[in-house]
Structure 1
Amino acid sequence: MNMHDLLDQLSGYFSDIRSRPWHVILTAWCVACIGWIGMLNIPDRYQAAARVYVDSQSLLRPLLSGITVQPNINEQVTIMANTLISRPNLEKVARMTDMDLLAKTPAQMERVIADLNKNLTLKSTGYGDLYTIAYENRNPTLARKVVQALLTIFVENGLGNNRKDITSSQKFIEEQLKDYEIKLETAENDLKNFKIKNAGLMPGEMGQDYFSKISDMQDQMRQTEMELHEAENRRDSYKRQLSGEDPTLLTDAISSSNTPEIDARIESLKKNLDTLRLKYTDQYPDIVATKNLINELEASKKKESKSRRPLSGSGPSTLYQQLNVSLVEATAQAEALKGKLDAYHSQYAQLRGQANRIPEVESEYAQLTRNYDIYKKNYETLLSRGESAKLSGEMQNKTDIVDFKVIDPPRVPLTPSFPNRPLLASIILLGALVCGLALAFLIGQLKPLVRSKKSIEAITDFPLLGIITLIENAQSRTLKHRSRIFQGISLGGLFVVYAGIMTKYLMSAAQ
């Protein structure tokens, strides 16, 4: 099929439709009337809307940065907006607008909730901080009440959730502070009791560790042994002089010692004892040795006082007494040094016996110290966070970190948002015309008319010899003219009705 044949076919279709104008007009009238009547019976639905702006750019936020808790306000508002149309909030809206009073059964209440969920919308603009709340219902007053209720919930949740989060955080931190305070006190007591129990074994105690104490003890033992050896030598020398074994030393050993000298010696030892007691306990070896020496000197003094008798001034009696006093002093000093050495040996043996406990004590002490440091650090951190949360709570209570500004409050709508009757009337008119044309085209296909020479030749397969022209008379032309007038009036009436409908609703919308 070439282009000429296609144009002939389309021309034939157009001729079929044009030859049946009443089919087109009557069908268009019927379809349009049915459509417009149905449009008028569609119940009106009114949409109430409100716009709210969420301002989270508070001046206090940069000023208190690093001091208070700074929540992500934009994220919280986004989450809150996404969860606003939830069942608990819808039930709350139903109670606030008395819609729950219309529901007598649970099934009716479910339908109320479903209607709210279906017709409520919350949209965010491209800026992200401007939200539109809209609701559609047959009752315009109810639509406004629903939007107002949801707007109230939106604002209350935005302010209340932040305060609730801060309060919950404060309560949690306070509970943790109490727990860590108990743990810290327990760790302190454990550490104190451990130090008391293991006194002398603690690492770094009194500026020395265990091995330093061992070394010092060995040095003191060697020094005491040397002093003891010297004291024993002096004692033995005095014994030999008194027994006459070494008379040549008798003259050299003579000293001017007498009872006043013993008293002076005792007084000096007592002063030394007082000095030692300021630094050490009574069990300290030097204190024990000094006490023994004082006791020996006092016993010697008493013995000499009892045995003293009047002397004739001869030399041998005085020398004997002086040697005897020196022997007593040397003996007492040797005994004191021996006791001191024994005490050092005992302490040294005790330290050596504690060698196996040193690593265990150090390990346990490190564990206790580590626990104490951890508890203390966490306690101080929680204390700082608690103050920060407290300040944040006061800031939330006394200032508005998030400010909700209602740009467009909800109002009672005067015109319905659905259906859009001007648009629907236009669609019905267009559809009616299309239906009329389609019906005329369908009839033309069912009852085709021969319109051209080619059509006859195609149907009969015979060549066309000639054409007889129909000559219309005056009466036929008059009828045809009248028919066209009626057709125009009928089609014009359809558009007049359409224009009336459009004028009515457009004027209502303008008001």
Structure 2
Amino acid sequence: MSNKEQNPFEQIFRYWKRIRRYRWWICLGTLVITLAGFNVVAMIPDYYQATTTILVDPQQIPDRYVTSTVVEDPRYRLNTISQQVLSATRLQQIIDQYGLYAEMRNKRSREEIIAAMVKDIDLKVKEGGSSLGSFTISYRSTDRKAVAQVTNQLAAGFIEWNLKNREQIVVDTTDFLRSELDRARQSLKDQESKLSQFKIAHAGEMPDDQTANLQMLGQLQSSLQANREALNRLDMQKTMLLSGEPGTSTAGVPTAPVSERQQLLAEKRDLDHKLSELRKTYTSEFPDIVSLSKRLDQVNARLQQLPADKPQEIARNTDNVQLSLLEREISRLNEEQRQIKAQMNSYRGRMDAAPVRQQEMLDLSRNYQVSSNDYASLLEKTTASQLAAELEKRQKGERFTIIDPATVPEHPFKPNRPLLMLMAFAGGLGLSLFAAIAKNLLSRTVQGEQELLKILPAGVPLLAVIPAIDSAATLRRRKLLALTAATVALVACGVEVLMLFWTRPLL
């Protein structure tokens, strides 16, 4: 007996025999639970899902021709756009437009309804190498037609906000660069003005003028030397004239008067000589030439008005005229010498100031170059930004393109009713078996020979085992009960199947 008790197959067979006694109750329980599960599965609403795929189309024009000002990673920009498209205001507009979540409006708050819609929206990103390749938008709802419309509207929102964001970035960048370009242009003008005013204020003192200054200084030195030699010659002539003239006093001053005509003629010769010297260096518009020319015209006009001198007066006044001319020429040369020395001092001052002016010029030139480079760089960037703005307006830059629009789904994606019904049947069968086993374990009746041997005292032998003998009435009652249960089960199954196919097709 102990060997038999330890045989697991015999124990399993013994338990099966016990459970087999409750087979009709197991069948009936399984049927009831399965039908109840079918009803629950049938009451679950159908959920439809529509999906659209959006391709991240890169810029069509190569970057080496037009550089886009939108350098943000599309994945980060997609997160920003998602916050804009899935904002509470826009989702509320979509809910009101298509009448979504009608059964929740009287039971839930606005925030809960919007949260439910956000949960029903699914955004999946598909990487394309190192960048964003595409992404899909899905929406789930019990309304079969609304899911496609809502999905397409969400996709259109992503495309619209992407264009708006890119255009706004380009416009903001262009406006900023234009303002900086205006500032740089004004700064460049200021530097140009300072540089021009410095060159005008210090003309001749610049390092580039040193060669010309040296040449002019050499010419002035030569002119000064010639002036000194001319003064020496005139001094000698004056001395000789004064010493050899008969009509002079002991002091050397002529006593004979000089006529007006002789004075004018001497002045005329003096004016002619000065004009000839000035015309060698300056043009006819030089102020000194203009004033001397006017004075010469006046002298000529006066000479035409005066009568000619007598021969004896001419001879008598010749020496006096020569002496007067010598004195005027000496006076002119002295004035010329003074001017030459003043000009030489001026050119020496220019040459001495050249190192200081060079340093100041370097500072101004450096500031001008910095402003010029800044302006050129901003001008190039502004031009590129304007090209990028035109690129965005023509939608030739990076954009979102729908490659697979959402369509009305033909079948719900959940629930999977065949699977759920199979689970309901398996659950009903399991619960029925569990109930039968529990009833058998909780029963206090002796179920077999082994249990009887455990109950009997030690040394009491088991003489015989009498099997259960059912009477004819008991057998008829069992058959009637089984037939009735089978009939009710069949009728219930038929009614359940008809109801399910009438209210909601399973497949």
Give the TM-score normalised by the residue count of structure 1.
0.69
Residues 1:199 and 2:200 are matched in the alignment? yes
The reply on whether 1:389 has 2:388 as its aligned counterpart is yes
CA distance in 2, matches of 1:432, 1:81: 49
- Work out the number of aligned pairs and report it: 477
Question: For 1:370 and 1:203, how far apart are their aligned partners in 2?
Answer: 26
- Which stretch shows the higher mean deviation, 356-365 or 45-54? 356-365
1:251 maps to: none
How much does 1:175 deviate? 5.7
Q: Is 1:272 matched with 2:280?
A: yes
Relative to 1, partners in 2 of residues 1:331 and 1:26: Cα closer, same or farther, differing over 3 Å? Answer: same
Which residue identity is paired with 2:17? R
Matched with 2:431 is 435
CA distance in 1, matches of 2:468, 2:194: 134
Distance 2:422 2:5 in 1: 32
Q: Distance in 2 between matches of 1:45 and 1:9?
A: 47
CA distance in 2, matches of 1:319, 1:6: 178
Q: What corresponds to 2:68 in structure 1?
A: 69
1:248-397 superposed matches below 5 A: 265-275=273-283, 325=325, 328-329=328-329, 331-346=331-346, 348-349=348-349, 352=352, 359-360=359-360, 362-386=362-386, 388-396=387-395
Shift of residue 91 of structure 1? Answer: 1.5
1:149 and 1:496, CA in 2 relative to 1: closer, same or farther beyond 3 A?
A: same
Q: Which residue of structure 1 aligns with residue 248 of structure 2?
A: none
Amino acid paired to 1:87: A
What SS does the corresponding residue of 1:185 show, helix, strand or coil? helix
Q: Which amino acid aligns with 2:113?
A: V
* Aligned residues of 2:22 and 2:436 also touching (Cα < 8 A): yes
Amino acid at match of 1:152: Q
Q: Which residue of 2 aligns with 1:403?
A: 401
Amino acid in structure 2 at the alignment position of 1:337 = Q
CA contact (8 A) 1:221 1:344 kept: yes
1:114 equivalent to 2:119? Answer no
Alignment identity in percent?
12
Q: Deviations over 1:323-364 (max 9, x none)?
A: 764664454234213212123324544775786566345424
Deviation at 1:61, TM superposition (A): 0.8
Task: Note the C-alpha offset of 1:456.
Answer: 6.6
Q: What secondary structure does 2:395 align onto?
A: helix
Contact map agreement 2:213 2:351 (CA 8 A) in 1? yes
Amino acid at match of 2:20: P
Question: CA contact under 8 A between 1:23 and 1:436: conserved in structure 2?
Answer: no
**What amino acid maps onto 1:428 in structure 2?**
A
Query: How has the CA–CA distance of structure 1 residues 5 and 496 changed in structure 2, closer, same or farther, with 3 Å as cutoff?
Result: farther
From the superposition, tell whether residues 452 and 168 of structure 1 become closer, same or farther in structure 2 (CA, over 3 Å): same
Q: Distance in 1 between matches of 2:302 and 2:180?
A: 71
* Greater shift in the superposed pair: 369-378 or 312-321: 312-321
Give the C-alpha shift of residue 428 in structure 1: 1.8
Contact (CA 8 Å) 2:67, 2:388: kept in 1 or not? Answer: yes
Unaligned 5+ runs, structure 2: 245-264
Alignment RMSD: 5.5
Matched residue, 1:135: 140
CA contact (8 A) 1:24 1:433 kept: no
Provide the secondary structure at the position in 2 that maps to 1:50.
Answer: strand
Q: Distance in 1 between matches of 2:223 and 2:110?
A: 102
Q: Which moved more, 1:76-85 or 1:327-336?
A: 76-85
Report Cα offsets for 1:437-458 as digits up to 9, x if no partner: 22333344444856566x7776
Counterpart Cα distance in 2 of 1:161 and 1:400: 9
- Correspondent of 2:420 among 419, 424, 429: 424
Residue pair 1:56, 1:401 contacting (<8 A) in 2 also: yes
Q: Which secondary structure state, in structure 2, belongs to the residue aligned with residue 40 of structure 1?
A: helix
- In the alignment, the residues of structure 1 paired with residue 295 and residue 336 of structure 2 have an alpha-carbon distance, to the nearest angstrom, of 9
Equivalent residue letter for 2:156: V
Q: CA deviation at 1:120?
A: 3.2
* Residue deviations 1:461-501 (CA, integer Å, cap 9, x gap): 8468665243676x569967996997799689869977986
Q: Secondary structure, in 3 states, of the residue corresponding to 2:54? A: strand
Offset at residue 371 of structure 1 (A): 2.5
3-state SS of 1:409 partner: coil
| Deviation at residue 15 of structure 1 after TM alignment | 1.7
TM-score w.r.t. length of structure 2: 0.69
Stretches of structure 1 that go unaligned for 5 or more consecutive residues are: 246-256, 283-287
* Partner residue in 2 for 1:285: none
Deviation of 1:198 (Å): 5.5
The one-character-per-residue Cα deviations of 1:161-215 (angstroms, maximum 9, x if unpaired) are 315532552365146425532551354145315522562448995x716x66775
